[in-house]
Chain A
Amino acid sequence: MTEIMPSTGAVILEEEGLDEPPRRVSGARYLFSKLGGAAVSMVMVILLGFFAFRILPGDPVASITRERQLNAEQVEQLRQQMGLDKPLWQQFGDYLVNVATLNFGESYVYKTSVSSLIGDYFWNTILLTGTSAILAIALGLWLGQHAGWNHGSLFDKITSGTSLVLWSVPTFWLGLLLLMVFGGTLHWFPTGGMLSPDPPTDPLGLIGDVLAHMVLPVITMVAVVYAQYVMVMRASVMEEKSADYLTTARAKGLREDLVRRRHAVPNALLPAVTLVFMHIGGLIAGAVTVETVFSWPGLGKLTYEAITGPDLPLLQGTFVVFSAIIIAMNLIADLVYRFLDPRVRQA
């Protein structure tokens, strides 16, 4: 579990459980209020970025040049280059212009512009986290609904027990373990990177090569994240299980699995799907450690290199981009929820 502060399913449902009932508002108004919320969050990220990278360190030049030998002239040049000789409000203005034009400065480690680096690595992260998210959601929702439906059964005990243990596992350690067993000892899968040193030239071989490199990182991310989804879905199904409409469905003579599939699960999915989307932020944060362990060339690995550099312009860039992805995912969650919930949709 990388999202460092998740909660067990029941708690998640309680705490984020939509304490305000869905209100009937018009589609356009709903869309605008959610878009506005996302915009406010993005503004907060940008303010936080300025505060963390310009104001908090006291002297940004000192923290950038930490562990680096520079003479006074070079430091002064850097200071001017970063615009630190200007008053703070002017620095803030420059910063806003830079963020708006996606200009995060130049990376110290790579010696190229941060935005082009992020552009190069962006899709690798999306490939890794996207695949993991789809697998984790499918697995988590499936296991969760069966565990919740047969609450107290052996299947439920094994599923929730496994989830509880996986939930206590640090993501990077699980990665190290898999790397050790399947990469180091058994040599079943490559131990890192995205491509072999001399990748196959034909397209099919190339895809196969990437897939082989993806297996271990994807397993790591799925294993750590699906547990949360199991707990959410399990709690949600259990909530629906005692509903009157299920008794009606059974009285009609429906088979038990039809009662579950057609009546209980669609309703249980509603709160679960929203929470699943909300927790995608955790999955994306998990990319930092998983990509570090498996040397996957994505934004997470860039973040790690920015930390070890230290390369603050690069770190600032990945911070803003990661935050933007997460805010976008939450916006999508809100819109999907509206689409899924007929009570809200038909209003």
Chain B
Amino acid sequence: MSTQTRLRSPRAMAWERRRSSFAEFCREFAQNRAGLIGLVFLVVIVLLAVLAPVLAPASMLDVTTLIDAPRFAPPSWEHPLGTDHQGRELWVRMLWGAQVSLLVGFAATAMSMIIGTIVGIAAGHFTGWWGGLLMRTIDFFLVLPSLILAIVLTSVLSRGVWTIVIAIGLTSWAGTARVVRSQTLSVESRDYVERARVLGAGHWHIIVKHLLPAVMPLVLANTTLTVGSAIIAESTLSFLGLGDTTVQSWGAILRNSMDVSAATSGYWWYVLIPGLAIVLVVLAFTLIGRAVENIVNPTLRNR
């Protein structure tokens, strides 16, 4: 038998290390009951949203075919979640709305995370004038409520789902940038970064090989928390009438319900159901986010 150990490339070793730490992460996550419940709930909702065209064909939303359908029918066996002011089944609208609400949530979060990570790393890595300017910019966006800015952006741009995504993404990255910046600062002072720099590593090498892997866990924990906020932001903008009126979303349903004064006219299902869906989905994201945060940030354990 040969005693010679197999030579492994650094890349293979890095992958093995990552695989094992990912397995460790999954094991720890599985022990967090609240996080697990949130994850299972979300998977169900995402499946329902994806299957919307199968479960409820788009023709069910066609108002012209619904002339005889009862308006404002309360929930019953025939109309499980009731009907709206045009006789459309609320459950069909909810399914289609889930698609848009989740899509906007994920897309806006992705945008916000990318901007936040880039600005955060740059603000932490580059010292002097540029770092200071970036820091001020982060602070500025942190202080100014994203809703106010998002309202202004969606008002001056043309209406549409992607306008909403851009408005939320462009205004909500500051929190992430702040976290990423402080993490970058603490990694930057470690010896291995100093060593890389002494060996002649450039900005690009240090950022991609050392800083990015170090801030990624934090960014991921932030991501789940941000998706929930982005879903609320979408519903708020749609509710204020800044959404695309031809597209179903949970916020748009609530907007319709306010337009017909459902709250004061006794059409309780029209108000209750879309809002409840938002709350549950956001809560699921929050629970998952807290579970992830507990794992990647050990100082928060036992909280």
Contacts and interface: CB of A to CB of B under 8 A. Distances in A.
Interface of A: 1-8, 10-11, 14-16, 19, 37, 40-41, 44-45, 48, 52-53, 56-57, 63, 151, 164-165, 167-173, 176-177, 179-180, 183-185, 191, 235, 238, 278, 281-282, 284-285, 288-289, 292-293, 303-304, 306-308, 310, 312, 315, 319, 322-323, 326-327, 330
A2 B147 CA distance: 7
B155 A312 contact: yes
A4 B229 contact: yes
**Interface size range on B against A:** 35 or more
B136 interface: yes
B229 A281 contact: no
B91 to A, nearest CB: 19
B236 A179 contact: no
B293 A11 contact: yes
B229 A5 contact: yes
Given A10-B300, A41-B143, A238-B303, A323 B282 contact: no
B162 interface: no
Nearest to A289: B236
Interface stretch (B5-13, B189-197, B206-214, B270-278): B270-278
B51 interface: no
A306 B155 CA distance: 9
Given A2-B236, A4-B233, A308 B241 contact: yes
Given A285-B145, A307-B155, 7 more contacts: A3-B147, A15-B182, A56-B157, A57-B157, A170-B278, A173-B275, A306-B155
A307 B156 contact: no
B242 interface: yes
Interface stretch (B19-27, B40-48, B259-267): B259-267
Contacts of A173: 235, 254, 271, 274-275, 278-279
Interface stretch (B65-73, B82-90, B172-180): B172-180
B236 A171 contact: yes
Contacts of B146: 3-5, 285
A282 B145 contact: yes
Contacts, number: 185
Contacts of B288: none
A188 to B, nearest CB: 13
Contact of A307 (B179, B240, B293): B240
Contacts of B175: 5, 7, 15
Nearest to A174: B275
A284 B145 contact: yes
Interface in B243-270: 254, 257-258, 262-266, 268
Contacts of A169: 275, 279
Given A15-B182, A52-B156, A57-B157, A4 B241 contact: no
Interface in B188-234: 222, 225-226, 228-230, 232-233
A41 B236 contact: no
Given A45-B144, A319-B148, A4 B230 contact: yes
Majority SS at the chain B contact face: helix
Nearest to A278: B143
A307 B146 CA distance: 16
B232 A191 contact: no
B140 A41 contact: yes
Nearest to A56: B156
A319 B145 CA distance: 11
Contacts of A312: 155-156
B152 interface: yes
B150 interface: yes
Nearest to B254: A173
Interface string B268-303: 100110110011001100110110010001001001
10 closest Cβ pairs, A-B complex: A285-B145, A173-B275, A4-B233, A168-B282, A184-B264, A180-B263, A168-B283, A285-B147, A5-B172, A57-B156
B147 A165 contact: no
16 contacts: A3-B146, A3-B147, A7-B225, A14-B297, A15-B178, A15-B179, A15-B182, A45-B144, A56-B157, A168-B283, A170-B279, A176-B258, A176-B275, A180-B263, A281-B145, A326-B143
Contacts of B61: none
A170 B236 contact: yes
Given A177-B271, A180-B268, A284-B145, A303 B151 contact: yes
Interface string B90-125: 000000000000000000000010000000000000
